[in-house]
């Protein structure tokens, strides 16, 4: 388990992480989602022991991580743009990480390189970004660590490789004690694979919940009211997060279960109504608008 308590990190006058508390349980795929500059990469660097927090604690299986080689040995971090030695090849990186992680699976790494048609002796500097992402994903999987942190996990990968990456992560979880933590702007990809998600904004956690529970607790309603009185009555019964209208068609994102929404609708005079499922992207947008974030500034990959 990764336990983060009252975490703070500043860079000069900029607060990258502000009083962040979060728990990442074992045996689930955790998705880290945030607005631009929310602190996702900084948080991952602190969890992996690269950066020292200004305040607060990060504990991995009960032990502090910074300047703790034993705790660090349980974490492999793949940044969005990984560093590699000049003229390095995939097999040279294999030798390097084999020396750092005593449980590194060199044979499996080579087999996976061949399965993905990645040149074992090619120069990484000549690879595309997507090919380099694949190499470092394989290094992370074969390092044998309990926790794998992947920043902007699917950036640069084509659709086939995105599916292959998700399959590799899922397979690893069935075979050993393994917990991946993924960040991405591609919320559709995270929705496919994550069990639990945390929303970051301005260096803090807006919410952290099981994905299935999150979807159960938010609903999207499209409705045409017969009269203004019915609209006023319904709005008074709902916790509305987002409301928009096109002509007479009203669209609401509301907090609550489908059953609660159906009960509220039964007391209203409507011409048309439909309750629709929300995507993870829609949930994220709704929650960010609640905390006052200008959604137009968010760029989804």
pLDDT, tens digit (0-9, with 9 covering 90-100), for 39-58: 899 999 999 999 999 999 99
pLDDT, tens digit (0-9, with 9 covering 90-100), for 113-133: 999 999 999 999 999 999 999
Thinking of the domain 217-297, which architecture would CATH place it in? 2-Layer Sandwich (3.30)
pLDDT, tens digit (0-9, with 9 covering 90-100), for 213-227: 888 888 999 999 999
In this predicted structure, what is the pLDDT of residue 53? 94
Query: Where residue 79 falls among pLDDT bands split at 50, 70, 90?
Result: very high
Q: How far is CA 228 from the centre of its chain?
A: 41
Pick from 135, 116, 121, 128: nearest CA to 92: 121
With 0-12 / 13-18 / 19 or more C-beta atoms within 10 angstroms meaning exposed / middle / buried, residue 266 is: exposed
In this predicted structure, what is the pLDDT of residue 289? 72
In this predicted structure, what is the pLDDT of residue 221? 93
Beta strands, E only, 134-176: 147-150
With 0-12 / 13-18 / 19 or more C-beta atoms within 10 angstroms meaning exposed / middle / buried, residue 294 is: exposed
CATH 3.40.50.2300 given to domain 2-210: no
Distance CA 150, CA 133 (A): 10
How confident is the model over 85-113, as a mean pLDDT?
Answer: 94
How confident is the model over 156-176, as a mean pLDDT?
Answer: 91
pLDDT mean across residues, the chain:
89
How confident is the model over 189-203, as a mean pLDDT?
Answer: 88
Residue with tokens 């120069």: 123
Residue with tokens 């974030």: 293
The model's pTM is: 0.84
pLDDT, tens digit (0-9, with 9 covering 90-100), for 8-37: 999 988 889 988 999 999 999 999 988 778
Task: Report CA torsion sign: 118, 121, 126, 132.
Answer: positive
Tokens of 299: 């760029």
Residue 166, phi then psi, degrees to nearest 5: -65, -40
Question: Three-class SS of residue 141?
Answer: helix
Identify the bridge partners of residue 231 per DSSP, sorted by sequence position: none
How confident is the model over 173-192, as a mean pLDDT?
Answer: 89
Task: Report CA torsion sign: 75, 76, 79, 83.
Answer: positive
Question: Three-class SS of residue 58?
Answer: strand
How confident is the model over 189-217, as a mean pLDDT?
Answer: 87
In this predicted structure, what is the pLDDT of residue 299? 41
In this predicted structure, what is the pLDDT of residue 26? 92
Show me where the domains of the chain are located: 2-210, 217-297
Tokens of 291: 């905390």
pLDDT, tens digit (0-9, with 9 covering 90-100), for 262-300: 999 988 899 999 998 888 888 887 777 766 555 544 444
Return all residues near 270 (Cβ < 8 A) that are at least 6 apart.
223, 224, 225, 226, 230
- Asked whether this chain's domains 2-210 and 217-297 adopt the same fold, the reply is no
Pick from 35, 30, 14, 36: nearest CA to 47: 30
Pick from 23, 9, 3: nearest CA to 64: 3
Helices (H), 198-294: 211-216, 228-237, 258-265, 280-290
The bridge status of strand 30-34 relative to strand 196-201 is: parallel
In this predicted structure, what is the pLDDT of residue 292? 59
């Amino acid at each position: 388990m990764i336990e983060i308590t009252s975490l703070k990190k500043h860079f000069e006058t900029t607060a990258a992480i502000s009083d962040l508390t979060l728990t990442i349980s074992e045996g689930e795929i955790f998705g880290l989602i945030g607005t631009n500059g929310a602190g996702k990469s900084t948080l991952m660097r602190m969890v992996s022991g690269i950066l020292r927090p200004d305040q607060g604690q990060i504990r991995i299986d009960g032990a502090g991580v910074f300047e703790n080689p034993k705790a660090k040995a349980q974490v492999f971090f793949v940044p969005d743009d990984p560093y590699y030695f000049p003229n390095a090849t995939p097999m040279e990186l294999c030798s390097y990480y084999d020396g750092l992680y005593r449980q590194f699976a060199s044979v499996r790494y080579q087999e996976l390189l061949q399965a993905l048609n990645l040149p074992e002796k090619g120069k990484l500097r000549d690879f595309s970004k997507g090919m380099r992402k694949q190499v470092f994903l394989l290094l992370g999987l074969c390092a044998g660590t309990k926790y794998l942190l992947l920043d902007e996990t699917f950036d640069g990968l084509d659709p086939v490789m995105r599916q292959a990456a998700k399959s590799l992560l899922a397979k690893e979880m069935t075979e050993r004690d393994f917990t991946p933590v993924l960040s991405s702007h591609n919320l559709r990809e995270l929705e496919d694979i994550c069990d639990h998600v945390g929303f970051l904004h301005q260096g803090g956690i807006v919410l952290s919940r099981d994905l299935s529970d999150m979807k159960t607790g938010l609903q999207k309603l499209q409705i045409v009211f017969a009269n203004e009185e019915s609209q006023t009555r319904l709005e008074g019964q709902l916790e509305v997060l987002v409301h928009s209208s096109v002509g007479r068609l009203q669209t609401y994102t509301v907090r609550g279960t489908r059953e609660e929404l159906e009960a509220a609708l039964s007391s209203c005079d409507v011409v048309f109504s439909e309750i629709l499922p929300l995507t993870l992207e829609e949930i994220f947008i709704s929650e960010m608008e609640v905390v006052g974030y200008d959604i137009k500034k968010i760029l989804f990959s």
